[in-house]
Structure 1
Amino acid sequence: MKQLLRLALAADVTALAALMLGSWTRINGAGLTCPDWPLCRGRLVPALGDGTLWEWSHRVLAGAIAALVLALIVAAWRQRAQSRFIAPIAATIAAFFLLQLFLGAETVRVANAPYSVVLHWATAMALIASISAMAVFVAASPDVGRRDASERTAHAVAILLGVTAVAAFATMCVGAYVSSSGAGLACRSIPGCAGNVVVYTSGQYAQMIHRIAAAATLICAAAAAALGWAQPASARVRRAAALGLVLISLQIVLGLLNVVLRLPTELREAHALNAALLFLAFFVATSLAVVDATPQRWTRLSAPNPLVR
């Protein structure tokens, strides 16, 4: 199981690095420096000038992820008897990875159309979340040291954290559309849009929906953190929820600064990275809360097999 955990963590870190390199590539206008796929300008290793280095490196990282995902699935298959959750999570990881490969090629084909960018980002985050779930479910066991809690309370904490993770995911996807469609400065005033409460253009609609979704995520995050601390959630769940609350607060500050400073490149990348991290914080918190809320399900299907390493 330790090997499976190490592979999951390595795949997680590599996938997150590929995600952010892809974001950096697009933000810098280098997303189409490799206009074909899977080769780049018809070559395995092209000339790396004019931003091609970023796009080509993004594809190299995707190749590394492929190797790690394959190794992870093989290890999961060998350890499938250790938990009923390993096999379905491994299948989910494989499905999201294959879909992500297709969307990567499609994004190039449609010249970074906003809808393809959103789907590419959303699938990347779903893949990273699935790998994170594998790591959590392999490493975690019910926290027997937590304060006594009713089953209903434990489930309530898990549900609220899950709602927060979904809200963060939706906010990210709307943000990806705002960024890729050029609507980042469609609303240059705060909290209204161009000095108005009513908006008129599609870019303004997208920008205001993004802001409303961010506010909803903040409210959910605050409620989840408060419930986690007020009710007997485990220390690890409370820490993850508190981290998520800090990150969503930072995210709102970064979003406001992006508008005020007119979208500097580094700040846009920081906004994208922090969005991914805050979603993962609440996703991991949800996963841990599920483990704590359903301890009867976290038993091995069979006794450990000494031949399975």
Structure 2
Amino acid sequence: MRIPHLIKFTLVFTLMVILMGAYTRLSDAGLGCPDWPGCYGHLTVPNESHELAKVEAHFPEHTVEPEKAWLEMIHRYIAGTLGLLVLVILILCLKQPSAPKKLPILISALIIFQAALGMWTVTMKLMPIVVMSHLIGGFSLFSLLFILYLRTKPLRIPGGDLYARKLAPIAAFGLAVLVIQIILGGWTSSNYAALACTTLPICEGNWVDNLRFADAFSPFQGNHPSFEFGVLDYATRMTIHISHRIWGVLTAIILVWIAIKLLKAQSSTMRKSAFLLILLVIAQVALGISNVVMHLPLGIAVSHNGGAALLLLTMVFINYALWRKA
């Protein structure tokens, strides 16, 4: 298999891992298996009587919930497979003289760190800063694999499109704004703050007087037996939710503004990217509103995570195209 084809397949697989991670987290199955990398000391979810007896002896404070445990283990299986795919890409890139070398090494190092974050997510009982870092690591891996793919597939964008190239700093600003929004989304999810506000456009009640930014964005939340279902009070979670919502509106406006400017570019590739960016922003806003109105239905919440990943890739592509050497 050629390297670009393998990377393309790995990109699709990475998106599957991101969506499965979101599904596992939103299904409250992050601690479906209280140990790592196995499940209650087994490579699969224990269900035989002798296996359950062993679980009772070694994990007396836990009860096996097969549905949640299988969600967690399936996520681990496909994440492990992703690690093997990245290893194959690294080997192929190192063997092929013309292939990039530094970027595959960086990706491989990142996926090893991702595995460590996956372990800490379990051993630290869903500590928000670890859960959020694991999510951001997945998005970073997705982006770096995409850049590696672009490095192996030459882009056909006229170097003389000076108008488009002048938009490069604005595009970089838009990417930074989007990254902050994704981090805020991860922090909202990891602190179980997605339903802290259930009205539109902002939040119910006298929310302005209850804002607690210092508590809301402190990575240190004390010692707790478990962070499952969150440990912050309502006002703090509300602050997190509102920050994500307001920054989301700002992000949507900035990205659409960038897209409108790109629609005037000479390059058809850039114009198509602009149209795609507008469509993805509209979809993300609609999904975000649906999450509030429909009280976080699982399918829509997972789609919101996937939409964020595709938005990120679109902005990465736009920046790569505008900043690359002609």
Superposition TM-score, scaled by structure 2 size: 0.81
Counterpart of 1:45 in structure 2 is: 44
1:176-223 Cα distance to aligned partner (Å, 9 max, x none): 221221211222222232144615122121111111221221122112
- The yes-or-no answer on 1:204 pairing with 2:238 is yes
Matches of 1:220 and 1:268 in 2, distance apart? 23
The answer to whether the 8 A contact 1:244-1:279 is kept is no
Question: Mapping of 1:94-243 within 5 angstroms?
Answer: 94-144=108-158, 148-150=160-162, 153-196=163-206, 198-200=208-210, 201-232=235-266, 234-243=267-276
Stretch deviating more after TM superposition (270-279 or 96-105): 270-279
The answer to whether the 8 A contact 1:160-1:220 is kept is no
Identity of aligned residues (%): 27
Instruction: Give the AA of the match of 2:152.
Output: V
The answer to whether the 8 A contact 1:221-1:241 is kept is no
The answer to whether the 8 A contact 2:256-2:281 is kept is no
1:116-147 Cα distance to aligned partner (Å, 9 max, x none): 11100001100110000001121123424x7x
- The yes-or-no answer on 1:65 pairing with 2:82 is yes
- Cα 1:70–1:219 shift into 2, 3 Å: same
The answer to whether the 8 A contact 1:140-1:288 is kept is no
Instruction: Give the AA of the match of 2:27.
Output: N
Local SS of the residue matching 1:41: coil
Local SS of the residue matching 1:50: helix
Q: CA deviation at 1:255?
A: 0.9
Local SS of the residue matching 2:167: helix
Matches of 1:214 and 1:40 in 2, distance apart? 37
Stretch deviating more after TM superposition (188-197 or 56-65): 188-197
Runs of 4 or more consecutive aligned structure 1 residues displaced over 4 Å after TM superposition:
none
1:14-63 Cα distance to aligned partner (Å, 9 max, x none): 11111111110111111111111112211112237232211111111011
What RMSD in Å do the two structures reach over aligned CA positions? 1.9
1:89-137 Cα distance to aligned partner (Å, 9 max, x none): 1122112111111100010111112211110000110011000000112
Counterpart of 1:271 in structure 2 is: 304
Superposition TM-score, scaled by structure 1 size: 0.86
- Cα 1:143–1:186 shift into 2, 3 Å: same
Aligned length: 284
Instruction: Give the AA of the match of 1:122.
Output: I
Local SS of the residue matching 2:303: helix
Matches of 2:91 and 2:321 in 1, distance apart? 25
The answer to whether the 8 A contact 1:163-1:220 is kept is no
- Cα 1:241–1:91 shift into 2, 3 Å: farther
Matches of 1:204 and 1:27 in 2, distance apart? 18
Question: Mapping of 1:1-16 within 5 angstroms?
Answer: 3-16=2-15
